[in-house]
Amino acid sequence: MIRWTDLLIPTLREAPGDAEIVSHKLLLRAGLIRKLSGGVYTFLPMGLRALRKVENIIREEMNRAGGIEILMPALQPAEIWQQSGRYTLASEVLFHVHDRTKREWVLGPTHEEVITTLAANEINSYRQLPKNFYQIQVKFRDEIRPRFGLMRAKEFVMKDAYSFDVSDEAAQESYRKMYDAYTRIFKRCGLKAFPVEADTGVIGGKFSHEFMVPAETGENEVAYCEGGGYAANTEKATSRGPAKPTPTESTGSAPEKFATPGVVTIEALQRQPYGVGAHRQIKTLVYLAESKLIIVLMRGDDQLNEAKFAGKIGTNQFRPATPEEIFAALGAHPGSLGAVGVTGITVYADETLRGAKGMATGANEDGFHLRHVEIDRDITVTSWFDLRTVKAGEICETTGEPLKIQRAIEVGHVFKLGTKYSESMGSSFLDADGVRKPTVMGCYGIGVTRTMQAAIEQFNDVNGIIWPASIAPFHVHLMPINVAHAESVTVATELGAKLEAAGIEVLYDDRDERPGVKFKDSDLIGLPLRVSVGERSLAKGEVEIKVRSTGHVIMSPVATAADQICELLKGLTASP
């Protein structure tokens, strides 16, 4: 039995001002973590216990799925990042360090480079495959916007796994095993998480799913169908297109310039005296990628999806061009831009604009637009792509149902990588036929610290955390209501000993505090059961059990209280 006063559980009435979302506030208020610096946290005893619970569930399920646990270094020579080609691709998040000889290292944000180097050296024959190596380890990422506590941190714990197979088919099987393991892991953590199709981004790879926890404060958006037939990150999601079709009827006229003084937005051109509907406008965006300009054409009522765009150009190293760069290239400023007659610059157009006629767009002359524009006739499009973000209500291509949009927290990610890293890092094997082939890889991440916080984000009320029993720091918060009342203390400690003998983890609140304070803290720290022993109930031979999740209060005879607590906990523990 662990005593409250032997730990450090610094509960707070109020959360510090920089905590924006409820789970971040509760992590601090319940004394689970403390901030050292933005995005960098110390885990206090209660936080560490919950974290270990999540880790252990992950470890058990990874082992069950055939994973082999290893531990790789966080400190990695910069050369291996150059070798994989990710030194520049991932440069935004890489922490760089130099040793005494001025040699450059990076702090690992992920471990494809290290594991593939290992596999290149140690795996040589088809007889050694398949293999799935995993670790639970600290990652470092120089996030642009660390925030929301453990959700987006600079230093965080990840479970990362990497599978090596002899063929695509075998890799598919490894992927499926991880997908199933993830489903079990989140279920055992008590979380409502669901898989969605995900963008493979610039890490490459062919196929990927993210596991999402629905939450208004999530940084992702998921498009899904009510019937469950489709769910995808909006970075990837497609639909049959916008509700309003794109006009494709010719006006029979050539592009005609008209004066639009001061009009620099889609909305302004929609208003009188112009009255051009947003779906009749071509929006012209200009980006700079690898020091080359790219014009992107979207329908006026659509948003460019930057993840899709990054996927098409093969890099996330791009930015909007500055007004000066744009003026130098097109002779006009943002708000009056268009691609009619433009040559020598790459022009990407969104699929929604195919066949568009009778459109309006900027004239590349400040204060003027063009109408009667027909995209096929008037604009030289280099490539057509799906670049738009889907909207709620659009029709799903897969199911034919309307799409819904929901915000969510990404807690895990499974990726089919193929041979991208094995080829660049030299991981290959001799097949049964004596032919040397690259290993086929997959990679699989779970944000362990983020998962722990996501559970708090999903399960709380105005009074505090409501831990799922499987990851709660302790199962029972046991307290004598008055520590000066000898009988209460005796009964409570005896009950605690019995519970411990039954394998239940008990936090014994030995504080000499008013009952109100202890009860408030009890709700705040959110252990599944609160058991209080006081003079009044003891007079009737009973102790009080309160179920945190339901608020249900049960008066239980002292003699059978331990059994009843065991039963209650069994009912509270999720098992897939």
Q: Does residue 105 contact residue 75 with C-beta atoms inside 8 Å?
A: yes
User: How many Å apart are CA 36 and CA 277, to the nearest integer?
Assistant: 52
136 binds ligand ATP (CB under 6 A): no
To 10 degrees, the CA torsion angle through 47, 52, 57, 61? 140
Shortest distance, position 543 Cβ to ligand ATP, whole Å: 40
Pick the closest to residue 50 from 446, 377, 447, 453 (CA basis).
453
Shortest distance, position 245 Cβ to ligand ATP, whole Å: 33
Shortest distance, position 137 Cβ to ligand ATP, whole Å: 11
Shortest distance, position 91 Cβ to ligand ATP, whole Å: 14
534 binds ligand ATP (CB under 6 A): no
Binding mask 381-420 for ligand ATP (x = CB under 6 A): -----------------------------xxxx-------
Size of the site for ligand ATP (CB under 6 A): 15
Interface pick for ligand ATP out of 450, 475, 477, 530 (rule CB under 6 A):
450
Helix or strand (DSSP H, E) at 41: strand 40-43
Shortest distance, position 246 Cβ to ligand ATP, whole Å: 32
142 binds ligand ATP (CB under 6 A): no
User: How many Å apart are CA 279 and CA 438, to the nearest integer?
Assistant: 48
Pick the closest to residue 505 from 484, 540, 529, 522 (CA basis).
529
Interface pick for ligand ATP out of 67, 218, 300, 445 (rule CB under 6 A):
445
**Which of 220, 364 has the CB closer to ligand ATP?**
220
The one segment of 152-160, 179-187, 270-278, 315-323 that binds ligand ATP by CB under 6 A: 152-160
By CB atoms closer than 10 A (0-12, 13-18, 19+), residue 48 is middle
Interface pick for ligand ATP out of 29, 141, 209, 548 (rule CB under 6 A):
141
**Which of 137, 380 has the CB closer to ligand ATP?**
137
143 binds ligand ATP (CB under 6 A): yes
The one segment of 83-91, 250-258, 416-424, 442-450 that binds ligand ATP by CB under 6 A: 442-450
The answer to whether the bond into 473 is cis (omega within 30° of 0) is: no
User: How many Å apart are CA 352 and CA 299, to the nearest integer?
Assistant: 7
Pick the closest to residue 162 from 28, 62, 54 (CA basis).
62
Identify residues 156-175 at the interface with ligand ATP (CB under 6 A). Answer: 156, 158
**Which of 212, 359 has the CB closer to ligand ATP?**
212
Structure tokens at 475: 């199962």
Q: Does residue 46 contact residue 8 with C-beta atoms inside 8 Å?
A: no
**Which of 34, 152 has the CB closer to ligand ATP?**
152
Structure tokens at 554: 């049960």
By CB atoms closer than 10 A (0-12, 13-18, 19+), residue 343 is exposed
Shortest distance, position 441 Cβ to ligand ATP, whole Å: 15
The one segment of 148-156, 176-184, 186-194, 391-399 that binds ligand ATP by CB under 6 A: 148-156
Q: Is 566 helix (H, G, I), strand (E, B) or coil?
A: helix
Q: E-strand spans in 375-516?
A: 383-385, 404-418, 428-430, 436-438, 440-447, 460-461, 464-465, 476-480, 506-508
**Which of 148, 508 has the CB closer to ligand ATP?**
148
Shortest distance, position 109 Cβ to ligand ATP, whole Å: 7
152 binds ligand ATP (CB under 6 A): yes
Residue nearest to ligand ATP (CB): 447
Identify residues 6-45 at the interface with ligand ATP (CB under 6 A). Answer: none
The one segment of 44-52, 221-229, 423-431, 444-452 that binds ligand ATP by CB under 6 A: 444-452
**Which of 188, 413 has the CB closer to ligand ATP?**
413
User: How many Å apart are CA 51 and CA 56, to the nearest integer?
Assistant: 9
DSSP class of residue 164 equals: E
Residue with tokens 């990652």: 139
Phi-psi region of 153 (alpha: psi -120 to 50; beta: other; left: phi over 0): beta
b/e per residue 372-388 (b: at least 16 CB within 10 A): bbbbeebbebeebbbbb
Q: Does residue 413 contact residue 199 with C-beta atoms inside 8 Å?
A: no
**Which of 158, 294 has the CB closer to ligand ATP?**
158
**Which of 110, 439 has the CB closer to ligand ATP?**
110
Question: Would you give the distance in Å from CA 312 to the centre of its chain?
Answer: 22
Shortest distance, position 210 Cβ to ligand ATP, whole Å: 7
Interface pick for ligand ATP out of 136, 153, 337, 440 (rule CB under 6 A):
153
**Which of 238, 449 has the CB closer to ligand ATP?**
449
Pick the closest to residue 286 from 326, 333, 231, 236 (CA basis).
326
Shortest distance, position 139 Cβ to ligand ATP, whole Å: 7
**Which of 93, 566 has the CB closer to ligand ATP?**
93
**Which of 156, 348 has the CB closer to ligand ATP?**
156
Shortest distance, position 158 Cβ to ligand ATP, whole Å: 5
User: How many Å apart are CA 68 and CA 65, to the nearest integer?
Assistant: 9
Shortest distance, position 143 Cβ to ligand ATP, whole Å: 5
**Which of 193, 321 has the CB closer to ligand ATP?**
193
**Which of 35, 354 has the CB closer to ligand ATP?**
35
**Which of 145, 536 has the CB closer to ligand ATP?**
145
Pick the closest to residue 491 from 500, 479, 477 (CA basis).
479
The answer to whether the bond into 130 is cis (omega within 30° of 0) is: yes
Interacting residue ranges for ligand ATP, rule: CB under 6 A: 110, 141, 143, 152-153, 156, 158, 410-413, 445, 447, 449-450
